[in-house]
Amino acid sequence: MAKVEREGSVSEGELREFLREMLLIRRFEEKVEERFRAGELPGFLHVAIGQEAVAVGVCSALGEDDVFASTHRAHGHTLARGTHPNHVMAELYGKLEGCSRGYGGSMHLYDVERGNMGANAVVGGGLPAVTGAALAFKLRGEARVALAFFGDGATNIGTFHEALNLAQLWRVPAVFVCENNAWAESTPASQHMPITDMSDRALAFGMEAISVYGQDVEEVRAATERALQHARSGEGPVFMDVETYRLTGHYVGDPQVYRPKGELDELRETQDPIDRLRERLGLADEELERIDREVTEIVEESVRFAKAGTDPAPEDALKNVYA
Amino acid sequence: MRELTLVEAVNDALHVELERDGSVLVLGEDVGRAGGVFRATAGLLDRFGPDRCVDTPLAEAGILGTAVGLCMAGWRPVCEMQYDAFSYPCLDQLITHVGRYRWRTGGGMDFPITIRMPYGGGVRAPELHDDSPETYYVHTPGVKVAIPATPADAKGLLAAAVRDPDPVVVLEPKLVYRTARGEVPEGEYVVQLGQARLAREGSDLTLVAYGAMVGVAERAADVLEASVEVLDLRTLKPLDEEALLASAAKTGRVVLVQEAPRTCGYAAELAAVLAEKAILDLRGPVLRVTGYDVPYPYWAIEDAYMPSVARVVDAARRLLAFA
């Protein structure tokens, strides 16, 4: 399970675009936290602060016709795939203009046009569907890949094992991306996994596994490209163990009493993917500030858009249960 | 017209529907080479190949979850659950996802999934091979439920389920898989969902039943000295309320028969509908003949559990004693 070496396939221009996207996700998530504290958004929000490089590195590698399924921590993946921040924010505000028309909310963001098969409030719930979509592509001879995001906590759930077993058995073009942030809600990996190397999970199915450091967007991008190529070429699915860090609570408002004292401060100091990329690019303060102002305005506009949106009528809830 | 058994009619429906529509495929445990433990899928593998008749490992959540992904990519999957109680591992996928996707996406996604399974007792099987789980499915928003009692309806309802744009659970009464024999139209044949069948006309009392209990009700009607109507519901959801209320208005006396445990069983819902909408037509209380609130008992005592002709006759006589 060799660590992916930097392959240098990403241009500096693309890296700057990655930085902009990662910063957009960061500012979006901070705004979500702020609007929650202001009482405008209800709770049950999971933000992806700290995991931006995974979302951007993976989604930037996906082909236009590829599909993916997300998790309860879905805002970053959805934004990185290109769903407009206005439509994501409007969804959080429960408006008809939201990407799930105000029916899904934070944990059920959909965007069929962009191959977003949906976020999922049930941990591990979307994994078998990714195997199914990949099987569909294989049966039709289409060169498409279905990709799943999930956390380390999801690897303890039955659907994870069923989905990976079926995927490898049928050699379908699927990629399973484990955002391994070492916390299942408030439970540390040491208490929820009997193994230390997550990629051992894949070995049980004879599945190709790649370990990658998820705070480095270039590494994530390169590893995802390799995984997608493997899957697309008909060699079967790939498991990606992506080491990442949740630089915030499980949910917005989480007091995080379970974290060792000082851990969060230290991680923010050492594991911030945006700091890392900025250093790599040698970006001057004023340039970063310019990008920051730009994405901050996009986020502000998304809140204005969402607040001006249309509330669903109660009778709307009766629609769409059946065709 | 040719005569088939109920399970032969299921097999016929699958052959016709797979022939008619190239996007229909069957997946389940032992459905391929073995042709299913009850032979419901016999011949499909040879006729349509392994891509359209997919043998899966023992993984019910994986099977239904795979079907979800197949739907997202344009297939119309028909999942076989080998036995009624083996469907419980897929209940999570059904309740949390399959029944909700259309609603959650504001009508943006279709899930034309059929889930079929043999169900019910009386076959001298051990526990977990004889459950009547219909209420779990009926109670799940976004899911339709059909239960045939005759070979013709087994074919027609299954065809309707396969063509329906919504998820449909079809429960097949395994007790009469090979004993129910009757005329079945050749070629394409559809029985619309949501339409009950008047199995027998009468004027003094209505026996309402579905699945294997229709035969029990008919035999009870033979014994009773009154003019007894037997209503075979065929579809539990959507319920043919019109047919139920029309029969109640005609006879004024209704006995409901279900083999599932009593509390909150489907008969309780029927009784509630009658209480709300037929109270002035009724000449006595609505009575229920049901299984008991226990796990399905081992074969030596299962006859005491199952609603029998004697129990139905007894309930009917008690009701007929009202003016």
pLDDT value of residue A8: 54
Q: What mean pLDDT is predicted for residues B76-82?
A: 97
**Chain A contact present for B102, CB below 8 A:** yes
Same domain, residue pair B17 and B78: yes
Same domain, residue pair B290 and B151: no
- As a whole number of angstroms, the distance between CA B315 and CA A193 comes to 57
Residue B277 sits in a domain of what CATH number? 3.40.50.920
* Region of poorest pLDDT, from A184-193, B202-211, B238-247: A184-193
Q: Which of B152, B184, B216 represents a domain boundary (last residue)?
A: B184
Eight-class DSSP state of A311: P
* Residue A5: pLDDT band with limits 50, 70, 90: very low
Would you call B70 and A140 a contact, using CB atoms and an 8 Å cutoff?
no
- As a whole number of angstroms, the distance between CA A315 and CA A248 comes to 37
Whether the pLDDT of residue A101 is over 70: the answer is yes
Residues B63/B28, Cβ–Cβ less than 8 Å: yes
**Residue B107 in domain:** yes
* Region of poorest pLDDT, from A12-21, B36-45, B46-55, B122-131: B122-131
**Residue B26 in domain:** yes
**Residue B178 in domain:** yes
- Residue type (1 letter), B42: A
Domain residue limits at B270: 197-320
Q: What mean pLDDT is predicted for residues A126-137?
A: 96
Same domain, residue pair B74 and B152: yes
Residues B88/B36, Cβ–Cβ less than 8 Å: no
Within chain B, what is the greatest distance between any pair of CA atoms?
A: 62
The pair of three-digit structure tokens given for residue B129, joined into one six-digit string: 């091979």
- Residue type (1 letter), A147: L
**Residue B190 in domain:** no
Query: Hey, what domains does chain A have and what are their CATH numbers?
Result: 2-307 (3.40.50.970)
Same domain, residue pair B210 and B172: no
Cα dihedral: A315, A316, A319, A321 (round 10): -100
The pair of three-digit structure tokens given for residue B239, joined into one six-digit string: 């319920």
Residues A18/A219, Cβ–Cβ less than 8 Å: no
- Per CB-CB distance under 8 Å, the chain B contacts of A136 are 69-70, 72-75
Whether the pLDDT of residue A186 is over 80: the answer is yes
For the ranges A101-105, A122-126, B90-94, B220-224, the one whose mean pLDDT is highest: B220-224
Q: Which of B135, B150, B184 represents a domain boundary (last residue)?
A: B184
Q: What mean pLDDT is predicted for residues A292-305?
A: 98
B89 CA: distance to closest CA in chain A (Å): 10
B165 CA: distance to closest CA in chain A (Å): 6
B68 CA: distance to closest CA in chain A (Å): 5
Would you call A165 and B57 a contact, using CB atoms and an 8 Å cutoff?
yes
**Residue B50 in domain:** yes
**Residue B21 in domain:** yes
Would you call B62 and A102 a contact, using CB atoms and an 8 Å cutoff?
no
Whether the pLDDT of residue B238 is over 60: the answer is yes
**Chain A contact present for B169, CB below 8 A:** no
Same domain, residue pair B174 and B295: no
Same domain, residue pair B21 and B167: yes
Does residue A78 or residue A316 have the better pLDDT?
A: A78
Q: Which of B159, B184, B209 represents a domain boundary (last residue)?
A: B184
Global pTM reads 0.93
In sequence order, which ranges of chain A are alpha helices (DSSP H)? 12-37, 52-61, 75-80, 85-92, 127-140, 158-170, 189-192, 200-203, 217-232, 263-270, 273-281, 285-307
Same domain, residue pair B117 and B172: yes
**Residue B102 in domain:** yes
Same domain, residue pair B71 and B219: no
**Residue B120 in domain:** yes
Find the closest chain A residue to B140 by CA distance.
A321
Whether the pLDDT of residue A6 is over 50: the answer is no
Query: Catalytic amino acids of B?
Result: 129
B91 CA: distance to closest CA in chain A (Å): 12
Same domain, residue pair B287 and B254: yes
Same domain, residue pair B128 and B11: yes
Q: What mean pLDDT is predicted for residues A165-181?
A: 97
Q: How many domains would you assign to chain B? A: 2
* Residue A25: pLDDT band with limits 50, 70, 90: very high
Same domain, residue pair B9 and B154: yes
Would you call A136 and B72 a contact, using CB atoms and an 8 Å cutoff?
yes
Same domain, residue pair B210 and B267: yes
- Mean pLDDT value across chain A: 94
Residue B150 sits in a domain of what CATH number? 3.40.50.970
Find the closest chain A residue to B54 by CA distance.
A170
Instruction: Provide residues of A within 8 Å CB-CB of chain B.
Output: 67, 96, 100-104, 108, 110, 112, 117-118, 120-122, 125-137, 139-140, 146, 158-159, 162-163, 165-166, 169, 319-323
Q: What mean pLDDT is predicted for residues A38-62?
A: 95
Q: Phi and psi of A148, rounded to 5°? A: -115, 135
SS (H, E, C) B35-87: CCCCCCCCCHHHHHCCCCEEEECCCHHHHHHHHHHHHHCCCEEEEECCCHHHH
Query: For tokens 């799940």, what's the residue?
Result: B140
- Residue type (1 letter), B217: A
